[in-house]
Amino acid sequence: MTIKPIQGGITAARGFLAAGVHCGLKAKGLDLAVIFSQVSAAGGAMFTTNKVAAAPVVLSRQHLGSGPMRAVVVNSGNANACNGEQGMEDARAMAAMAAKALGVKVRQVFVASTGVIGQPLSMDKVEAGIKEAALALRADGGEDAARAIMTTDTRKKEHAVVVDVDGVKVTIGGIAKGSGMIEPNMATMLAFITTDCAIKDNLLQSALKRAVDESFNMITVDGDTSTNDTVIILANGQAQNPLIDKEDGAYLAFLAGLKEITTALAKDIARDGEGATKFIEVNVKGARDFREARQMAKAIANSNLVKTAVFGCDANWGRIICAAGYSGVDFVPDRVDIYLGDEQVAARGAGLPFDEKRARSILQQDEVVITVDLNMGGEMATVWTCDLTYDYIKVNASYRS
């Protein structure tokens, strides 16, 4: 199976246009995006597990499964969450404005928002933005869209691949935003994916769920699951491959390409965690089952003490085994091996006289790999996160100001 990375993102696949404009919801920078499929597209989506779901999430959930989709309208700078009935009216108005500007039905439009919670959306700005974006749609507008969905992100996140499906070249591309309020379980960020693959709705949704579970649900920045998390995929069939209507080889080829995109976007989000200076990969292996391995890897990745130790280049492996110990997973402490990069720092639950200098130089890299081997079984899980730094505090101590 060949998966070839290519330039671009949300407009890499045939038949998709996008635009990003500045409408004034943020003081400066692009803050409203429209993604448009020139023909009907199968739609799939996953949303936050937070009990408090933002209005656009509630609305997009209603639109999902109502038939072919055509567009996504997204704003940054305001989450439109906790705004009561007015919030729902505003989300519906966003869909209606986009539908009108694009000449499609209201229920064919997904809506997403990200930004501050609990402040009314300035609908005059949103309306002007949607009109402007609809007129600005372009086949190379993906990058503007990627920028328009950013909040505290320091860089745009877009990826695309070409994958061979039934002998046909299918393109999958996506964009994402998110650097705070990042914790798995669908999944504390926005991501939009387009593909020209021909695939039935139900299989598109199942592939999305599998890809998200192994990518976005494996990252964490601060353990906070937001009210607005949304991943949307549109598949418009323009690649002309035979319609994927069962879990055959073509489905698996598509799924592999999709995972490539969601994983690349997920790692981008972890790498761009608020204030982060380092990307951290936490592997838990030798586990009896995957779920336990993931649960432990997440506990380690979410530990403020582990994250600050990595920031400080301090090979304090005691905090790693401590986090493993309170993860809720049953294991035998005396069997645990711990590695920083390829330097083993603990064996059978006790410290080794490791080379502190080497450990420090490993921790000074941009990417730090922590591996915990439980020596109990053959399963493993990998979770991605970032370090916890002065700048995380700085970014979040006055986010609204």
Residue ranges binding its own copies (CB under 8 A): 49-53, 79, 81-84, 86-87, 116-120, 180-181, 183, 185, 222-227, 302-305, 308-309, 311-312, 314-319, 321-327, 329-331, 333-334, 346, 348-351, 388-390, 392-394, 396-401
Say how far apart CA 204 and CA 27 lie, in whole Å: 37
Q: CB-wise, 50 or 283, nearer to its own copies?
A: 50
* Nearest to its own copies of 41, 372 (CB atom): 372
Nearer to its own copies (CB atom), residue 251 or residue 384: 384
Q: Closest distance between its own copies and the C-beta of residue 75, in Å?
A: 16
Nearest 10 degrees: CA dihedral of 121, 124, 130, 135? -160
The b-or-e profile of 200-226 (16+ CB within 10 A means b, else e) is: ebebbbbbbeebbbbbbbbbbbbbebb
What minimum distance in Å lies between the beta carbon of 120 and its own copies?
A: 8
Q: How far is the CB of 357 from its own copies (least distance, A)?
A: 13
Q: DSSP letters of 140-166? A: T-HHHHHHHT-SS-SS-EEEEEEEEET
**Cβ-based nearer residue to its own copies, 70 or 319:** 319
Closest Cα to residue 195, out of 262, 125, 132, 295? 262
Sequential DSSP letters for 33-64: EEEEEEEEEEEEEEE---SS--HHHHHHHHHT
Is the CB of 16 or the CB of 392 nearer to its own copies? 392
Q: How far is CA 115 from the centre of its chain?
A: 16
Active site residues: 188
Look at residues 219, 224, 223 and name the one whose alpha carbon lies nearest to residue 282.
219
69 φ, ψ to 5°?
-110, 165
The pair of structure tokens assigned to 129 is 């933005």
* Residue 319, both tokens: 């905090």
Q: What residues are paired with 175 via a beta bridge?
A: 158, 192
CB of 287 to its own copies, least distance (A): 14
| Cα gap 41→68, rounded to integer Å | 5
Longest dimension (CA), the chain: 69
CB of 362 to its own copies, least distance (A): 15
CA neighbor of 147 nearest in space, from 29, 228, 234, 261: 29
Smallest separation (angstroms) from its own copies to the CB of 286: 15
74: left (phi over 0), alpha (psi -120 to 50) or beta: beta
Side chain identity at residue 83, one-letter code: N
Rounded CA-CA distance 149/147 in Å is 6
Q: Which is nearer to its own copies, 38 or 49 (CB)?
A: 49
Closer of 246 and 401 to its own copies (Cβ):
401
370 touches 382 (CB < 8 A): no
Closest approach, Cβ 310 to its own copies, in A, equals 9
Torsion of CA 187, 192, 193, 199, to 10 degrees: 80
